[in-house]
Amino acid sequence: MQGSSSFFERVYEIARLIPYGRVTSYGAIAGCLGLGGSARMVGWAMNAAHTQALNVPAHRVVNRNGLLTGKHHFGTPALMQQLLESEGIEVVDDKIVGFHDCFWDPATELKINNNEF
DNA sequence: ACTTTGACTATAA
DNA sequence: GTTATAGCCAAAG
């Protein structure tokens, strides 16, 4: 497994696994990678992802409060909210409405890997 | 090789 | 409930 060059690519992989209309937090991705308390590195990887020309839905990654903290790193500060609203996620005052409802935890969702309802 | 930063999180007050 | 501080680890300067 791994074989990844840097932990950056691991973050990109998890970010790519975020389903449409779902969001996750930096800490969740960091925990899935085993970094645990180093959620900052996930955000840093996202910043690098912008320069890597990779298809990483960074707009689906927000902080633990469901706040669009990284919106300022997109092309325009309103782009992140625009993308989230485009996916059916309601955003008010840079905050995701019902964040806990559309939250997607990679460590949990990938572990179950069987959403039989 | 050392210092600073950084899209965070948890705990304390 | 909020606000302040410390911890976190890896990459860029």
| pLDDT score recorded for residue A34 | 83
Nucleotides in chain B near protein beta carbons (<7 Å): 6-10
Nearest to A93 by CA among A106, A102, A101, A84: A84
Q: What is the mean pLDDT of each run of 10 residues along chain A (117 residues)?
A: 74 94 95 87 92 88 95 92 95 94 89 60
Residue nearest to nucleotide C8 (CA to C1'): A38
Does the CB of A65 sit below 7 A from strand C? no
Does the CB of A49 sit below 7 A from strand B? yes
| pLDDT score recorded for residue A109 | 80
Q: Token match 């925990």: residue? A: A31
Q: Indicate the residue type of A70.
A: G
| pLDDT score recorded for residue A35 | 84
Nearest nt to the CA of A74 via C1' is B7
| pLDDT score recorded for residue A57 | 95
| pLDDT score recorded for residue A52 | 82
